[in-house]
Structure 1
Amino acid sequence: MRRKVVEQRARVTNALEALRHQIGLALGAARNAHSDAEDALTKLRLEQLVLSVGLDRAENDPKLAEHRGDPAMTAVRAWLENVRSRFYADWADGPGQLRDLVASAAPGPAGRPGGEWLGRLGTSEGMRPPELWRIGEATVDGSSVGRTPGTTLSFDVAVPLLDESHLSITSAPKTRPTVDALVEGLLMRVLSTFTPGAVKVHLWDVGQLTAVLPNFYALSRTSAVTVHDPTRLVDLLDELAGHIRRIHTHTMQAGYPSLRAMREATGKRVEPWRIAVLYGNGEDLAPEHLRDLKRVATGALAAGISLILVDVPTVLGGSVETISLLDDRRAVTSMTGSGVEVRLDPALPAGQVAGAAARIADAIVTRQGGPRSFADLLPTEFGQESSARELRTPVGFHEGEPVEVVIGDATPHALIGGPSGSGKTNFLYALLGGLAARYSPDELALYLLDFKEGVSFAGLAPGKKDESWLPHARLVGVNVNTDREFGLALLRFLSDEMRRRSAAAKEFEVTNIAELRDADPNGHWPRIVAVIDEFQYLFAERDSVTAMATSLLEDLARRGRSQGIHLILASQDIAGIDAFWGKPAVFEQCTLRIAMPKARRVLAESNQAAVAAPRWHAVVNHESGVAHGNQLAHIPDASAKNTFPVLQRQLWQRYATHGRPRLFDGAVAPRLDESTAFAALEPGTDRPRALVGQSIEVTDNAHGVEMASTPGRNLAVMGSSTAEALSVLDAATRSLARQYPAGAVEFVLGCAVDTCLGEVRALADDLAALGHKAGVATAGEIPSLVTEHTERLSEPDSDRFLVLYGVDAVLPALERKEPGKPSALEHLRTLLKQGPAKGLHVLGWWRGVARLKDTLGFGGTEEIGAWVALDVQGSELAAFCAGQVVQWSPRAGRALFFDRGTHASPEVTIPFHRPEVTDA
């Protein structure tokens, strides 16, 4: 037992000794590794110091003075010299290869001496810009590459810029002229490579207000060079950030990761390059500016923006090359390494630079071609574009390049603003002309409404002097400033069309108009553009029209885009539209903003571009009015005589099969004989309709009263306006006569107003000429006339219409009563109550609401199934429409119509024009 214990203890002791030995070995290895690591770190730090000052200058550099006797320094220098000698030995033809590389990567002005190109205009469109841009040359000792000792070999030095890299320049004391020459040379090489206008330069200097690269100032009269306020770096950074957001959105929507990729894939340069030169003073920027600058630098290259920072201490995101000046001639660069000194190219001759800048500026102005014409907006072939995905057309030019308006899913609706005389109407013509020329009427349908007192769109419908019309137009409404109901009717029509398209999309299991057109190629699904000029009139009153219009417009703005329905709202000033307070959806959906000179509240509040916009220009912004979306465009004269009409006639001749648009002119009374509803009437109908006026609808329709054999089918006209009362009764009578065969109906016209007797007799003559029985009774004959027809109610007879003019004028006579007999007034009440069921209907005119009530007696309002109110206040009409509040104020040429059998509330109607008897 004891023996086992001793053996067990021995094994434990041996194991512990073995463990101690292993731990000792591990600790020793760790100490050795730690020592080796410290030695390696020391060598790395020394290597970094040597490389930062250059191997050739390390012996005398004060930064390395304390390490001169250090064996590690000796080892590091020996190792670096060995590496360099091996490198140069292996690369004996390095300088020659560098020269060839720069020659191929920096062709033309990018790498050649200034005398070969300075003052000549660039010709490159920039599909593939040079990869490098020359800044100077460097030399190496020939002995290091196997050449004769004492000889030197030189090679060109260039840096990447456009699409490739940013550039950070650090100056040395008293080297500002050298820095300016370096920056000026780079910029002039870039500007001289590409066609004028392809590059835009932004200059900002924290220490100077105006004298930033003064040789370029000739370019500042164009957009090629912009000098920014030294106290407002934030404005420049915001502008650059805005460009980046806009360009990234555009390229990503097109399926490309960068502007460069898009340019190479499509073969078109859609955006200019931008170079922003920022001169600092060696001090740190404010934290918020530094944050914004880094954010800009990160996304700038993909958006075609390069930064050149001078004495701005920061570490930028993205690719950055550096140039550090040693003195006024020498520098080191990240392209060549700190061990190679670069001799910077001498400054270009100032006078030649200024002259070259002036030539480029002149070329940019010439490229603009002065004011471009409306014809320049039009394509060479009409109707070749598809609207399935979007609508797109140029509306103007900026420095010779077209500025486009895009209407689609991303920018579904537009808001146009500008004071009177700012060119808003001309812009609309330029827009409509461009769209109509590019898209056929099967691709685009236009609904045009002008609320101001004028005829801006009237020429787009057939006229007396020009029979042509714009084939794309389905509706043209002018002079509707007092007919807000017509604007409401248009919104209702568009809302109904939106629901129709939505139902079709649901049926085909698609979500938008483009998919619906693919799924239903035989359907008719054009994009609809509704233009409402001076749309603020639609919301001028706080009434039911405003409430309904606001609701409909908001719904259309939200949901119309997916169904291909787009709104263009134009106004002088939207500030006072109270209806949209608290309901910003309409304006939020109007991501396309067009601001004419001096326009207010159209662009974002901080965007003042419209204030400085010159005449005949517009600020086009697809980014909801934010400043980075601004595009200034000169708008050609599209509204001059023989300009738009020429295009319209060409389109009319091309698309002759498309029907004419509906023209609604609020200043012109419609004619009964030109009414579509009147023309559609024909004999033999079971339910004849008495037309009373034109309805305010998108389609050409008329208000009418069905004269069925049911109680209350009588018509009352109320008001003192003689001309309009005659018009209503004339239209009602003539339209009824049109629906009966000759001799199948009897008209009895009772005129109690002597001044109207001539018109009434003329109507009777016309009825008789149609083969109908028609008679005229004067004021004194009306009581007996009423009594006679009451007595005939029990007799089977043909349909009869008793048309009474100025009934209230004979009320005393009607009320006169003989003993034991009912009065004529009682007979009239009997006719109103029992007549419709017996085929007799009364159409009467009372010159006041109270007089009509007196005629009807207590409870008699039920016998008036339909009425037309002329110069009568709405508050007087409640008894005739089930007690509801009627919002109506009389206005010239308009009346209020209500048919209790079909209407929930009264509607505005337009009495037809009635030619005077003398006109016949």
Structure 2
Amino acid sequence: MGSVAQFFGRAVGWHRQALALLLDAEAELRALESDEFPAATADVEQRRRAALLHDLARAGLRGWLGAKLDGTAVDLPLGGDAVPDRPMFVKVGEARPTSDSVFWAVAPFIGAGHLAVDADVRDPAVAAWLRGVLLRAAAALPDGTLRVLPVDGATLGSVFAAFRPLMDAEAWASPATDLARLRSVLDEAERQISAVQGGELDSPPVLLVAVAALPSGASRADWARLAAVAHAGPAARVHLLLAGWPPHTYGESAPRLDHTTFLTGAGEGWYRMSEPPGPHRLSDDGSGLAAPLRLDAGASEDLIAQVCRRLAATATVSRRTDFTSLMPRQIWQESSAAGLSAVIGRDGRESFTLSLNDATPHALLAGRSGAGKTNVLLVLLYALASRYSPDELGLYLLDFKEGVSFVEFTPTAADPSWVPHARTVGIESDREYGLAVLRTLTREMNRRAGALKAAGATSLTGLRALQPDTVMPRLVVVIDEFQVLLAGNDTIARDAVAGLEDLARKGRSYGIHLILASQTIAGIEALYTKKDSIFGQFPLRIALPGGSGILDNGNTAADALPVGTAIVNPAAGVAEENRTVRFPHADPKSVAAQRHTLWQSRAAVNDPPAVFAGYAEHHIDSDPLYGAFTPQVRRRQALVGRAVDVGLPTVGFALDAVPGRHVAVLGTSPVAADILHAAALSLVRQHDPGTARFVIASFAATADTVVDDLVATLTTGGHDVAELDAGQLRVLLKDLATTDSGPTSKPTYLVTFAADVIVPMLSERGPDRRTGLDDLRTVLRTGPGRGVHLLGWWRIARRFADTLGGSSGRDDVACLVALNVPANEIASLLGDHTLTWQPRTNRALLIDRHDQRTRLIVPFVRPGRHEDTEETGLP
């Protein structure tokens, strides 16, 4: 800190000296205008005093503020000649009181006021002068304190070309060359003034609006805004450097600018300088500097480029941010009562804070492939999770693309840590899973509505004000590639649209915030009549490169963005509200370190999130419900898989005495054998050894390995097991069908693989004119009441229907699992043509006609099933 104090002390001393020199210069200038000398000696005295003024100015303007801008200046030290809070005097030209005398004309600028010249940069002398003043200011001020907003309505920005290194380093903005961009510049200047006046910024940067020429079409309203900035700007470190002011428009006069030194053309390249801002005057009558002046010659573009490269090198370092630097030093220090906010990147050199609150409750995020959506989401979500505890924030995360966007929030085999705020994480999610999450959120919203009503509050903010100790965290719901959820125009899409609309309209009151991410929001059929009503609730827009489609019509600011930046707009994409934000790279090492910090700080009640990985197999051996089974269960179940629902609940069928409690697996996929294997093992676990009979019959070579494993497991476990061929099974069915109606000696489970193979054989009539199908149908109707249940695999749905005897026997097997069976065949089998079903790998449709259940499930398979078999995209 000693060097900083020394620098500041030197700077204060320099400015005091400059002020004293200015006072001396004012006295000398007033003396030049007096008649105290005889005419014979006047010229001599004027030359003497001009030389004195010249010496005073050279002594007062140290370093870059008065240096000759030629090759000798290139190695001058940078950033040591001025400080933002003290008036910075700058050389603006050379005054000539007589033909053979000259002194430097000096004007107060940054820290005091503004500079304006009435010609614009179409005059080469004005262009050079403007560049020279900008170079002096950029080189004199400490690094990181100056941000320049260039405006050039005459040369399309070429006058600022030499300053390109500073633009690339984002210390300067790119030139505004049209009226819309000029107004954006004024917006930014006005925002800084308002922020300082409102106490939101304690130490703002110096913001310099440098106008080379006003764009055509600038109106009196634009002039008035410039005048307002001139009036209020110096107190907020906002300054103007204007060429072409006042604008020359027939019949209209521009407003005069406060706190401004004016340079007015006097013909033949000469200018007059007005009184500068401040209490000290150059003349008694307020006419300004008595001597005419030539504008400062400025600097060559080569010198400017060399100096700017030096400045840009340090500017690049100072603007650079990383993931770790955005995380707070102490986690979980904020309250979400009034909303959520987090620093997620930089706007130029300033930190940028994004907020989710009542004013900006929901956000749309878009960008082309590779634009960095996943990176932005990681930065935003980790920044929020680091500021707000799990009692203040909950996360629901859904990813519908083939990727691993949200794996960083979940425990894995390699890393057991997770983000304790995560409630539900979907990776490569099914549409059905997304709909289940929306329904879960709707139930939570309705629960919160009841709590608010009971407390007499109308919003979460109001509830937290009335009951500060209430634990009701805000929920952030992120749906990446959300258009997949709404694809088509089926029941799922329609229900999902209705759920999104409900949450978007009401969620803000109950602390539920939606972030929808996609490459585009165009062409979503299910939204044709709902697009405005839903997206109108999303004022916050984050447009990555190629994501201008989510901004207002005509706002194409995101089209040419570099990767790593985004247009963040809190006003539904209106161009005037654009902010260009640079995001850090969420590198895996830093993300993992922050995740461990959060995980290690979790409370004992913070369970891991409910994770749905769409690509994952599920095995009966690792199922929690299967592991909890004992022979003392009240109602035995045949487990077949995990529901595609929040928490992935285990699903199966209750096998009790109700007629029809049998299981049929339909489809040609060998996964059917795995499902029967899992169902049988789950029943085994619910019986003591020897207390149940398992009859195994297999008629498909593809099931041999599964059957051998099942028989070996049953035998090793001491259970009563028999493996039958077709003829033996026919005899058993006849015996079970003709035995009296009393219960069997022990529960009996008939497990048949590829039962459709024996349907023709069972159709044959015996000596008593009965067929095996007659016996099977009798067993199906009466078996459950006697403790007999069938678990069968039919590869052909039509054969299954024939087995039941057509529609009249539908209810004789109430429990169905459909694999690669077309929807129309299942619909015909059930007599329900409203059924929505699309066969696909690692999925099955569970149907329980007694419980009125139809659910998408991930079926239980043997480990490696989907790795070792070619299933042509089917289950």
Q: What is the CA distance between 1:536 and its match in structure 2?
A: 2.5
Distance (whole Å) between structure 1 residues aligned to residue 452 and residue 424 of structure 2? 25
CA offsets per residue over residues 447-491 of structure 1, 9 Å max, x none?
3333222333335422232233333333332233xx222222222
1:773 paired to 2:720 = yes
Q: 1:113 to 1:846 in 2, by over 3 A?
A: closer
1:902 paired to 2:851 = yes
Q: Secondary structure at the match of 1:643?
A: helix
Counterpart in the other structure of 2:335: 386
Q: What is the CA distance between 1:890 and its match in structure 2?
A: 1.9
Q: Secondary structure at the match of 2:390?
A: coil
Distance (whole Å) between structure 2 residues aligned to residue 266 and residue 184 of structure 1? 29
Aligned with residue 679 of structure 2, among 721, 729, 732: 732
Distance (whole Å) between structure 2 residues aligned to residue 581 and residue 478 of structure 1? 27
Aligned-pair RMSD on alpha carbons?
4.3
Q: 1:397 to 1:258 in 2, by over 3 A?
A: closer
Counterpart in the other structure of 1:884: 833
**Aligned amino acid, residue 415 of structure 1:** L
Counterpart in the other structure of 2:528: 581
Q: What is the CA distance between 1:851 and its match in structure 2?
A: 0.8
Counterpart in the other structure of 1:275: 209
Q: Secondary structure at the match of 1:542?
A: coil
Confirm or deny: 8 A CA contact 2:754 2:793 kept in the other structure.
yes
**Structure 2 residue runs without a partner (length 5+):** 1-55, 96-102, 869-875
Counterpart in the other structure of 2:497: 550
Distance (whole Å) between structure 1 residues aligned to residue 361 and residue 197 of structure 2? 27
Counterpart in the other structure of 2:369: 420
Q: Secondary structure at the match of 2:845?
A: strand
CA offsets per residue over residues 776-798 of structure 1, 9 Å max, x none?
32222112111222234622344
Counterpart in the other structure of 2:822: 873
Aligned with residue 185 of structure 2, among 223, 227, 240: 240
Q: What is the CA distance between 1:347 and its match in structure 2?
A: 4.4
Q: 1:747 to 1:326 in 2, by over 3 A?
A: closer
Counterpart in the other structure of 2:35: none
Aligned with residue 691 of structure 1, among 626, 639, 652: 639
Q: How many residue pairs align between the two structures?
A: 776
Distance (whole Å) between structure 1 residues aligned to residue 539 and residue 714 of structure 2? 58
Distance (whole Å) between structure 2 residues aligned to residue 371 and residue 227 of structure 1? 18
**Structure 1 residue runs without a partner (length 5+):** 1-102, 139-153, 249-256
Q: Report the TM-score, using the length of structure 2 for normalisation.
A: 0.77
Confirm or deny: 8 A CA contact 2:107 2:276 kept in the other structure.
no
Q: Secondary structure at the match of 1:655?
A: coil
Q: 1:826 to 1:896 in 2, by over 3 A?
A: same
Counterpart in the other structure of 1:461: 410
> Which stretch shows the higher mean deviation, 890-899 or 181-190?
181-190
**Aligned amino acid, residue 557 of structure 1:** A
Counterpart in the other structure of 2:220: 290
Aligned ranges 1:14-25 → 2 under 5 Å: none
Counterpart in the other structure of 1:529: 476
Q: What is the CA distance between 1:698 and its match in structure 2?
A: 1.6
Q: What is the CA distance between 1:223 and its match in structure 2?
A: 4.5
Aligned ranges 1:482-881 → 2 under 5 Å: 483-582=430-529, 583-599=531-547, 601-640=549-588, 642-655=589-602, 657=604, 658-721=606-669, 723-753=670-700, 756-757=703-704, 759-767=706-714, 769-770=716-717, 772-792=719-739, 794-797=741-744, 798-820=746-768, 822-858=770-806, 859-881=808-830
Aligned ranges 1:50-449 → 2 under 5 Å: 114=66, 121-122=78-79, 170=118, 191=138, 194-204=141-151, 207-209=154-156, 212=159, 219-225=166-172, 228=175, 233-240=178-185, 242-243=187-188, 247=191, 258-263=194-199, 267-269=202-204, 273-277=207-211, 279=213, 286=217, 289-294=219-224, 297-298=227-228, 308=242, 310-313=245-248, 314-316=253-255, 323=262, 325=264, 327=266, 328-332=270-274, 340-343=287-290, 347-348=295-296, 350-351=298-299, 359=307, 362-369=310-317, 372-397=321-346, 399-449=348-398
Distance (whole Å) between structure 1 residues aligned to residue 505 and residue 303 of structure 2? 54
**Aligned amino acid, residue 410 of structure 1:** A
Q: What is the CA distance between 1:867 and its match in structure 2?
A: 0.9
**Aligned amino acid, residue 570 of structure 2:** H
Distance (whole Å) between structure 2 residues aligned to residue 134 and residue 484 of structure 1? 68
**Aligned amino acid, residue 481 of structure 2:** E
Distance (whole Å) between structure 2 residues aligned to residue 455 and residue 537 of structure 1? 16
Q: What is the CA distance between 1:873 and its match in structure 2?
A: 0.7
Confirm or deny: 8 A CA contact 1:396 1:404 kept in the other structure.
yes
Q: 1:501 to 1:402 in 2, by over 3 A?
A: same
Confirm or deny: 8 A CA contact 2:367 2:547 kept in the other structure.
yes
Q: Secondary structure at the match of 2:641?
A: strand
Q: 1:333 to 1:206 in 2, by over 3 A?
A: farther
Confirm or deny: 8 A CA contact 1:415 1:592 kept in the other structure.
yes
Counterpart in the other structure of 2:14: none
Q: What is the CA distance between 1:813 and its match in structure 2?
A: 2.9
**Aligned amino acid, residue 114 of structure 1:** G
Q: What is the CA distance between 1:400 and its match in structure 2?
A: 4.5
Confirm or deny: 8 A CA contact 1:747 1:773 kept in the other structure.
yes
Confirm or deny: 8 A CA contact 1:127 1:268 kept in the other structure.
no
CA offsets per residue over residues 382-418 of structure 1, 9 Å max, x none?
3333333333333334554433333333333333333
CA offsets per residue over residues 297-341 of structure 1, 9 Å max, x none?
557866866554613143449958684737224344596797534
Confirm or deny: 8 A CA contact 2:482 2:516 kept in the other structure.
yes
Q: Secondary structure at the match of 2:513?
A: strand
Q: 1:886 to 1:508 in 2, by over 3 A?
A: same
Distance (whole Å) between structure 2 residues aligned to residue 272 and residue 769 of structure 1? 82
Q: What is the CA distance between 1:133 and its match in structure 2?
A: 8.9
> Which stretch shows the higher mean deviation, 694-703 or 606-615?
606-615
Confirm or deny: 8 A CA contact 1:875 1:887 kept in the other structure.
no
Counterpart in the other structure of 1:60: none
Confirm or deny: 8 A CA contact 1:429 1:639 kept in the other structure.
no
Distance (whole Å) between structure 2 residues aligned to residue 279 and residue 168 of structure 1? 11
Distance (whole Å) between structure 2 residues aligned to residue 752 and residue 569 of structure 1? 50
Q: 1:268 to 1:770 in 2, by over 3 A?
A: farther
Confirm or deny: 8 A CA contact 1:216 1:354 kept in the other structure.
no
Q: Report the TM-score, using the length of structure 1 for normalisation.
A: 0.74
Say which one has the larger Rg: 1
**Aligned amino acid, residue 311 of structure 1:** P
Q: What's the % identity of the aligned pairs? A: 35
Distance (whole Å) between structure 1 residues aligned to residue 288 and residue 461 of structure 2? 61
Q: Secondary structure at the match of 1:835?
A: helix
Q: 1:338 to 1:848 in 2, by over 3 A?
A: farther
Confirm or deny: 8 A CA contact 2:87 2:108 kept in the other structure.
no
Q: 1:623 to 1:170 in 2, by over 3 A?
A: same
**Aligned amino acid, residue 209 of structure 2:** I
Q: 1:555 to 1:329 in 2, by over 3 A?
A: same
Q: What is the CA distance between 1:354 and its match in structure 2?
A: 8.2
Counterpart in the other structure of 1:251: none
Q: 1:849 to 1:468 in 2, by over 3 A?
A: same
